C-alpha cells in the first residue's frame, strides 16, 4: 500500500515521516521516533498503558492510526519533565510510591495530567473516574490515587 507523509508535533518538536496507513500511533512513537516511554501493555485497547495526549485529550495510542495524528499535537510521557526536572505529577508519583513495576505508569501519568489540566482540584471520586481506563496489575490503585492527590496540591505546574 502507498505510504503517506505525516507531520506531527511531538512534545513540541515537528516530526515528519513516511508511514503505512496501518501503522498505529504507538508504533510510530516507539519505533520511528524512539520514544519508548509510551508502553504497549495489552495490544487490545483495554489497558491504556499507551496513553498520550492528542490535541490536549488523553487517548490510547494503540487505537489511533499514525496517519490520523497528521497535523496534531502529541504529548508523551517524555514531554512531561522540563529542563531535566521531573514534572510535579512525576514527583508526586515518586513521593507517594504510585509506582510498583512501573509498566502502567506512563499511561497513569498522562491520564493524571489530562485530568489535572481540566480540573486542578479533583475529588477522590473524580480522580478514580479519571484513571478508570488505566489498568494497574500491581497495586490496587490506592497509592496511585494518593499520588494524583499529592500532585493536585503542587503549586507549580
Partner 1 sequence: MEHCALLLPPSFDYAAPQTLPEALGLLEKGGEGAKVIAGGQSLIPLLKLRLASPTILVDINRIGGLDYIRESGGFLRVGALTRMAEVEASGLLKRKYPIIHDASTVIGDPLVRNLGTVGGNISHGDPANDLPAVMLALGAEFVAMGPSGQRNVRAEEFFQDTFAVALEHNEILTEILVPVPPSRSGGSYLKFEQKVADFATAGVAVQLTLNSKDECENVGIGLTAVGPTAIKARKAEESMKGRKPTDTEAISDLARLAAEASDPASDIRGTAEYKRRLVGMLATRALKTAYGRARRGGAK
Q: Which residue has the cell 483495554?
A: 46
Cβ at position 103, least distance to partner 1 in Å: 16
* Interatomic CA distance for residues 68 and 37, integer angstroms: 21
Q: What is the CA radius of gyration of the chain?
A: 15
How far is the CA of 49 from the CAs of 32, 80, 103, 140, in angstroms?
19, 16, 7, 15
* Interatomic CA distance for residues 25 and 56, integer angstroms: 16
> Considering only residues 80-119, where is the footprint of partner 1 by CB under 8 A?
111, 114
The one among 8, 29, 33, 64 contacting partner 1 by CB under 8 A: 64
- Taking the least distance from each CB to partner 1, the nearer of 56 and 85 is 56
Cβ at position 1, least distance to partner 1 in Å: 5
The one among 11, 27, 80, 98 contacting partner 1 by CB under 8 A: 27
**Rule CB under 8 A: which residues touch partner 1?**
1-2, 4, 20-22, 24, 27, 31, 40, 43-46, 48, 51, 57-60, 62-65, 67-68, 70, 111, 114, 129-130, 132-133
Amino acid at each position: 500500500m502507498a505510504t503517506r507523509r505525516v507531520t506531527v508535533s511531538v512534545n513540541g518538536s515537528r516530526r515528519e515521516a513516511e508511514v503505512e496507513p496501518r501503522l498505529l500511533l504507538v508504533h510510530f512513537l516507539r519505533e520511528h521516533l524512539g520514544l519508548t516511554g509510551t508502553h504497549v501493555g495489552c495490544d487490545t485497547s483495554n489497558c491504556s498503558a499507551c496513553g498520550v495526549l492528542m490535541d490536549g485529550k488523553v487517548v490510547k495510542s494503540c487505537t489511533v492510526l499514525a496517519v490520523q495524528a497528521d497535523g496534531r499535537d502529541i504529548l508523551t510521557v517524555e514531554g512531561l519533565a522540563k529542563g531535566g526536572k521531573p514534572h510535579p505529577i512525576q514527583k508526586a508519583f515518586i513521593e507517594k510510591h504510585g509506582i510498583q513495576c512501573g509498566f502502567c505508569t506512563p499511561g497513569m501519568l498522562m491520564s493524571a495530567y489530562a485530568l489535572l489540566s481540566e480540573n486542578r482540584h479533583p475529588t477522590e471520586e473524580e480522580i478514580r473516574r479519571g484513571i478508570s481506563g488505566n489498568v494497574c496489575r500491581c497495586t490496587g490503585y490506592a497509592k496511585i490515587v494518593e499520588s494524583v492527590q499529592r500532585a493536585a496540591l503542587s503549586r507549580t505546574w
